[in-house]
Amino acid sequence: MQYDREIREIAHYVYHYSVVDDQVLQLAHTALLDALGCAIQTLTESESARRLVRCFCADAQLSNGARIPGTSIQLDPVKGAMSLGVLIRYLDHNDGMIGKEWGHPSDNIGALLPVMDWLCRRSPLEQKRSSGPPLTMRTLLEAIVKTYEIQGCMQQENAFNQCGLDHTVLVKIASAAVVPWLIGLSEEQAMACISHVWMDSASLRVYRHGENTIPRKGWAAGDACSRAVQFALMVQAGQPGAPTVLSMPRWGFYGTTWRGQPPFSLPMPYADWVIRNIVYKLMPVEGHGLTAVEAILEQKKRMEEEGYSNPAKDIEAIVIRTNAAAKLIIDKSGVLHNAADRDHCMQYCVAVSLLKGSPPETADYHDESPYATSKEVHAISKRIDIYVDDRLTDDYLNRDKRSIASGITILLGNGRVLDEILVEYPIGHAAKTETLARVQEKFRRNMALLFSPAESERVQMAAAPQSQLLVSEFMDLLEKRQGRISNMLSGTRL
């Protein structure tokens, strides 16, 4: 029986498309560095994430396993994918892609790196038996391009959120398509692996909304990475797939879960469009709130120039004009229960930025942050009104424009109105010429939390497209045996 067309198209792309454009590989290099920097940042700044990594590591380390960056931990590829996926995603600081669905293509690196590292460390005989591609940095960068493309193209036209489903299913799909190629499985086996993802369906995205917003939104991608690797290993062990898992009447994904929406569609054939159009986060703010934070900081400067120095006292109302996705995801009122709730609240991010005069930092979302219980933050948040502008929504969905616009107008208590400041593209968007340089700065800043400038430079050079290193040799550059990280292994605080 032939596999569903949608599954065949993905597998054919993975196995028959070659990435030959040096610019595209250089963009993948930037994406890899950004994701690694996010992982190091999480490792050093989030005790909650460290506790998760510790629980995956308990009694599970391998002498030739996949290395977890910034540590001396080595794990089997399934636990390694979970751990690295958590570290990349947990602080909501990794890159993103917009469309009718939303997501973070760099989540897939959580699956790719551990698998390739683990494969490199197998015995010479096992490596000789493999028919997979060379386990070099060049192959890793090509794998990144392919996972980005699968996830990002699927996001453009297929709104899983309309069915209440979480976008991390697309991480699972993209990784489940590319990991079989890396470990030397056949194209048919890759299709079997993809079919197992659709049999799983997708998580409910309830953990990203309202009173149910919890830290699971930070480890859902790691879970998707680990499931993709697990499926690939099970298919390698002989498990067959379900060819019509999408289209089978009554029992398939479309019949049970897709709520009558049309079958999946793509805006273009799979190639390398996504890696060229990624949005990098240069502040730890939910992607749809980036432009609102930039706009409020511009309004803050305007207020100070006119002598208004007490926002909580001076401001009567703040009106935010934005796109429909921003309102749906991060428009929140009432009590915010935890860090995961706060970093997905536009009102909180805007209020904190207004009071600080700078973007929020990860510590500003924690329960221990003075902003979490600030009466001024609460007062300002209550005065923020968010509404959807249809033109901004159209521009958001228009692939020729792809703006994430938000405009902010401020009404002062004395009747003065500060005219709207509209920011269409945040710094970090592909439309901004300074984006790549700023991403490089972010990488160096994050790496400096654990590594010297010379070590950071070696990592950056070793990840370049022209690098001849094996992935395991690259990961060895990210090992840390001494210092604060060693405390993590014994279960103490960093």
Render pLDDT for 422-447 as a digit per residue (tens, 0 to 9): 999 999 999 999 999 999 999 999 99
Beta-bridge partners for 315 = 412
Q: Is the pLDDT of residue 482 over 70?
A: no
Over the stretch 194-244, which tens digit does the pLDDT of each residue have? 999 999 989 999 999 988 999 999 999 999 999 999 999 999 999 999 999
Mean pLDDT throughout 243-262?
A: 95
Mean pLDDT throughout 150-166?
A: 96
Q: How confident is the model at residue 359 (pLDDT cuts 50, 70, 90)?
A: very high
What is the pLDDT, as a whole number, of residue 487? 57
Q: Percentage of the chain with pLDDT > 90? A: 89
Of 211 and 128, which is predicted with more confidence?
Answer: 211
Sign of CA dihedral 216, 145, 10, 192: negative
222, 85 in Cβ contact below 8 A? Answer: yes
Question: 27: which 2 tokens?
Answer: 């963009």
What is the pLDDT, as a whole number, of residue 468? 87
What is the pLDDT, as a whole number, of residue 226? 97
Distant-in-sequence, close-in-space partners of 126: CB < 8 Å, separation ≥ 6:
none
Q: How confident is the model at residue 130 (pLDDT cuts 50, 70, 90)?
A: confident
Q: Is the pLDDT of residue 61 over 80?
A: no
Q: How far is 258 from 238, CA to CA, in rounded Å?
A: 29
Strands 315-322 and 384-388, bridge-based pairing: parallel
Domain ranges of the chain: 5-276, 287-423
What is the pLDDT, as a whole number, of residue 489? 47
Single pTM value for the model: 0.94
CA torsion angle 234 236 238 239 (round to 10):
40
Sign of CA dihedral 287, 288, 289, 290: positive
What is the pLDDT, as a whole number, of residue 260? 87
Under CATH, which number does the domain 287-423 receive? 3.30.1330.120
Mean pLDDT throughout 321-330?
A: 95
Mean pLDDT throughout 395-413?
A: 95
Q: Is the pLDDT of residue 492 over 80?
A: no
Q: Is the pLDDT of residue 162 over 90?
A: yes
What is the pLDDT, as a whole number, of residue 185? 97
Q: Say whether domain 5-276 belongs to CATH 2.30.30.90.
A: no
CA torsion angle 7 162 267 198 (round to 10):
-10
What is the pLDDT, as a whole number, of residue 493? 40
Q: Is the pLDDT of residue 338 over 50?
A: yes
What is the pLDDT, as a whole number, of residue 60? 64
Q: Is the pLDDT of residue 257 over 60?
A: yes
Considering the chain, what is the average pLDDT of its residues?
A: 93
What is the pLDDT, as a whole number, of residue 479? 93
Q: How far is 494 from 492, CA to CA, in rounded Å?
A: 7
Q: How confident is the model at residue 122 (pLDDT cuts 50, 70, 90)?
A: confident
Q: Is the pLDDT of residue 400 over 80?
A: yes
Q: How far is 169 from 151, CA to CA, in rounded Å?
A: 9
What is the pLDDT, as a whole number, of residue 481? 76
Q: How far is 181 from 17, CA to CA, in rounded Å?
A: 12
Beta-bridge partners for 489 = none
Lowest-pLDDT range of 127-136, 245-254, 274-283, 408-417: 127-136
Q: How confident is the model at residue 59 (pLDDT cuts 50, 70, 90)?
A: low
Report the chain's C-alpha Rg in angstroms. Answer: 22
484, 43 in Cβ contact below 8 A? Answer: no
Q: Is the pLDDT of residue 2 over 70?
A: yes
